[in-house]
Chain A
Amino acid sequence: MARTLEGYWNDLRATKIWRSVFRSGDGPGNLHSSLAVQQNVFLHLASVKMRRKALAFSVTWYLGTLTLATFLILTGTGILLMLYYHPSVPQAYADMKDLQFVVSAGVFLRNLHRWSAHAMVFLVFAHMFKVFYRGAYRPPREFNWVIGVILLLVTLFLSYTGYLLPWDQLAFWAITVGSNIMSAVPVMGGKLRFLMLGGNTVNANALLRFYVLHCVILPLVAFLLVGVHFWRIRKDGGLYTGKVEKS
């Protein structure tokens, strides 16, 4: 017992393999801490340093982080639900029922997906209200606000496309009503509805289109914009703490 756990830990960190993954090295100075963040593909979106005050609960109520958490839960549970779901008529409804009553933990995953979706819409709005009423949308953060508005639309569209997938009565009529609202767009409304549904009625084409939008296109757009959104926080001078700043 000559060696402590910390000794093994330090030996591990000194190995060639470890150093090939984490190049920053360690030491007491700011340099190594900065490098550790800068040289990590996941951490580099965030600032190397941030004000302690910006991490206080009262500043953000952590609403943005909570929104990200629901988005990650939705991605994880959504991928698992895809393993038992066929986007075809009428199989989709039977698959949804199977997830509810037959698949082990299916009801848990489906409900987690559903409740997280509701929570995400709520949290996105709460986050935007918090940003708005604190004035955090003002320059130099005005472009990040615009990205946030687009992310709100992506969230709502994700919610809407997911609505159809259970293929039950609620889904069918909700999308019928929603797509008829879309046809109120001047001049090209009817054409837009036709393109979105892939036909004149909510049918197999519409289910498949909504599935691809819900599972591939919109999540990719969301991931891309979330990346830009976080990167802009760093570029716009970190989280807004209410201080008067130079733009």
Chain B
Amino acid sequence: MEQNEKTVQQQTSQEAPGEATRRETLVKIGLGSLAAAGCGAAVFGYQFLSPNVLYEPSPIVNLGKLGGFPADSVTSDPASGIYVVHAAEGLYALSATCTHLGCLTAWKPELGIIACPCHGSKFNRRGIKVDGPAPRPLNWLKLWINDDGDLLVDKSTTIPAEHFVRT
């Protein structure tokens, strides 16, 4: 028995210092595979949870003929969440989505302001905040008139403020 232990010791001591035993190597391979599988599962999970196709309404909205927007007017379209303003400089479109937490604002013609019902932010017709917690002015949206004379707005494209479409 003592003899055996000695031989075992001799055998192990024959290995070069720093060389891993079979057990250590297998544990490393096992843990490495688990880590790789874990990373794969995380990537797979992330991709699975991100929908590749969305059945959401198109961000490009046709708001009808130019004649529907008389001079010096604010037209509210709650269904698409857009205001079209016909100012002296020309036409522009504002997003009706409040920049605070995403509620739908409403145009108050009697006060001449845009007001958010959720937390009381107020904006003027240029989208500039006049009151409340909103951190930014309302987004100006890309607006153009197509060949048929229809007014189109792309809700997914914001443009710098004070860019007007002349009629």
Q: Name B118's contact: one of A173, A194, A195, A200 (CB within 8 Å).
A: A173
Q: Which of B86-114 contact A (CB under 8 A)?
A: 101-104
Q: Is the CB of B54 within 8 A of A176?
A: no
Residues of B close to A173: CB separation below 8 A: 103-104, 118
Using a CB-CB cutoff of 8 Å, which residues 170-221 of chain A contact chain B?
Answer: 173, 176-177, 179-181, 194-195, 198-201, 203-205
Q: Is B50 an interface residue (CB 8 A)?
A: yes
Question: Is the C-beta of B44 less than 8 angstroms from some C-beta in chain A?
Answer: no
| Contact A177:B102 (CB < 8 A) given known A199-B56, A200-B56, A201-B56 | yes
CB contact list, A158-179 vs B, under 8 A: 173, 176-177, 179
B interface, by DSSP: helix, strand, loop or mixed? loop
Count A-B pairs with CB separation below 8 Å. 31
Residues of A within 8 A of B49 (CB): 195, 198
Residue from B46, B56, B101 within 8 A of A176 (CB atoms) = B101
Size category, A interface: 10 to 19
Q: Which of A176, A179, A198 has the most CB of B within 10 A?
A: A176
Which residues does chain A contribute within 8 Å of B50, judged by CB atoms? 194-195
Inside 8 A of B104's CB, which chain A residues have their CB? Answer: 173
What A residues does B101 contact at CB under 8 A? 176-177, 180-181
- Is the beta-carbon distance between A205 and B51 smaller than 8 angstroms? yes
Q: Note all chain A residues with C-beta closer than 8 A to B102.
A: 176-177, 179-180
The winner among A177, A181, A198 for most chain B CB atoms within 10 A is A177
**Residues in B whose Cβ lies below 8 Å from that of A203:** 55-56
On whether the beta carbons of A177 and B118 are closer than 8 Å, the reply is yes
Bound: A180/B116 CA distance, A? 15
Q: Which residues of A contact B46 (CB under 8 A)?
A: 195
> With the chains together, A201 CA to B49 CA distance in Å?
15
Which residues of B have CB within 8 Å of A201? 56
Chain B residues near A204 (CB-CB < 8 A): 55
Rounded to whole Å, the gap between the CB of A160 and the closest CB of chain B is: 15
CB-CB under 8 A from A199, the residues of chain B are 51, 54, 56
- Report the Cα distance A158→B102, complex, angstroms: 23
B52 to chain A, nearest CB (A): 11
B50, closest chain A residue (CB) = A195
**What is the bound-complex CA distance between A40 and B51, given in angstroms?**
46
Nearest residue (CB) in B for A184 is B101
Looking at the assembled complex, report how far the CB atom of B49 sits from the nearest CB atom of chain A, in whole angstroms.
5
Distance (Å) between the CB of A201 and the closest chain B CB?
6
What are the nearest 8 A-B pairs in CB distance? A180-B102, A177-B101, A180-B101, A176-B102, A195-B49, A199-B54, A198-B51, A199-B56
Binding site for A on B (CB under 8 A): 46, 49-51, 54-56, 101-104, 118
Besides A176-B101, A177-B118, A200-B54, 14 other A-B contacts (C-beta < 8 A): A173-B104, A173-B118, A177-B102, A177-B103, A179-B102, A180-B102, A181-B101, A195-B49, A198-B51, A199-B51, A199-B56, A203-B56, A205-B51, A205-B54
25 contacts between A and B (CB under 8 A): A173-B103, A173-B118, A176-B101, A176-B103, A177-B103, A177-B118, A179-B102, A180-B101, A180-B102, A181-B101, A194-B50, A195-B49, A195-B50, A198-B49, A198-B51, A199-B54, A199-B56, A200-B54, A200-B56, A201-B56, A203-B55, A203-B56, A204-B55, A205-B51, A205-B54
